Structure 1
Amino acid sequence: MTDDSGAISVDGKNVVIIGGTSGIGLEIGRAFARNGADVIASSRSEDSVADAAAELRDLGAETAEVTCNVRDLESVRNLKDEAEAALGGIDVLVNSAGSVAAAPVTEMTEKEWYQDIDVCLSGVFRATKVFGDAMDEGSIINISSMSAEQSREERAGYVSAKAGLNGLTRATAADLAPDIRVNAIAPGFVKTELAGPKLEDGSEFREGVDERTPMERVATPDEISGAALYLASDAASFTTGEIITIDGGYDRSSV
């Protein structure tokens, strides 16, 4: 249920973000911290985890430095145990770890294929299994992509994983209801440090994206984080199994 004001509030919530030390995941962590949540931002890199934790502390959040490899079930279990020890119960899990192999399907190696599937899809399964069993109630938010509904060149593994993630989101929403809500955010093109030169101002690819986007630009990470705040809050108490696309109205066909 929402409070009397209907406000979107995450104040006092305990949040774990897997893939939370860069890009969209880190910006979501910042947004939660600024709005009164305690946040653990995890990834495989000890240095990145330490840097993210320092920033979150500066924003007022309680946190802990815990690495996690979503391809390893025991690593996910350790993150859950460490998060519970540091914060108490977990209210929100954000699955934001990513992998993108850029190659035509005829040239993609099995290693590249399985890495995209394992990180972007099976990793979310592992995290949902572990945290869903530990959470009494709350919200799980998966970071999908508008690419799940597109024909994209040289992205067979990534597109397949994100399409599967949308299905996993809906299936786990049914499994974990009514106490735990599971939703996904599907961003369009977002300018992050991981996006590379293709989205730089003036690039040919970027100009094509801008032309086909009614908003005439790409997103910044903070324009994605607002949806995460909503989905984590009591304002979204009747929202589950949804895929929220944030793409500036982009035409969903091949670029």
Structure 2
Amino acid sequence: MDEPATGPGASPSRGGATRPSRPTLAAVARAAGVAPSTASLAFSGLGPVSEDAKARVLAAAADLGYGGPDPRARSLRRGRSGVIGVVMDERLSDAFRDPVNVLTLDGIAEVAGAAGVSLLLVRSPLDDEQGAGPLVDAPMDAVVLVGCNVRIDPAVAVLRRRQIPVVAIEAAEIEGAVPVQLDNREASRRAAEYLQGLGHRDVTVVTLPLDAARRRGPIDAPRQAEGIAFTTLERLRGVRQVYPEAVAIET
């Protein structure tokens, strides 16, 4: 009966067969003739390593088929992932059709890049029946909610349990989240007052959708009451401070 293969390049598996083991940083360091800490710095680029030592480390890694330190292990050691999650209020298939979303992401990306962190665009709760989806276990140090409303509550509860900081941009008040608001109601009230000052008495408000159904048509009292789109409702309330009977149509 053949003996199972042994050695640094093989590990036992079920049935006595062998499979190649994943090369380690320590093995790379030995092959390059450097300390493991030097090999680690050669990969991270975060410390003083001579060009000669770096070249030897990278050459040894290529020979052994070593692709670099496991980012998951590094995250565990550091206690953070270096990733900020961004959750949009719309399905991802729709999110990039909104130019405001694109500009908002540009701003977030600019600051994140300067801070040396990455962005993770997280699937909207609209794309997940449970309302939380990847927020349960995605590696993130913080989360930015863009225009999210009450549907996000289950997901925010998950983030609170994970003790992940949350910033909410143009969303209804969320416990424990840092709010970033535009005063949509006041701006709409001032716009309505401007029209009133010009002598206009009968106005119609054309609004953004009130919810994910994206219905089109007049907004009556029951429809407004069931609406959950925070920004849309705030703008409508602002206009109706000046024109209480203004007709509203969502589209």
TM-score by structure 2 length?
0.30
**Which entry has the higher C-alpha Rg, 1 or 2?**
2
Higher relative contact order, chain-length normalized (CA < 8 Å, sep 6+): 1
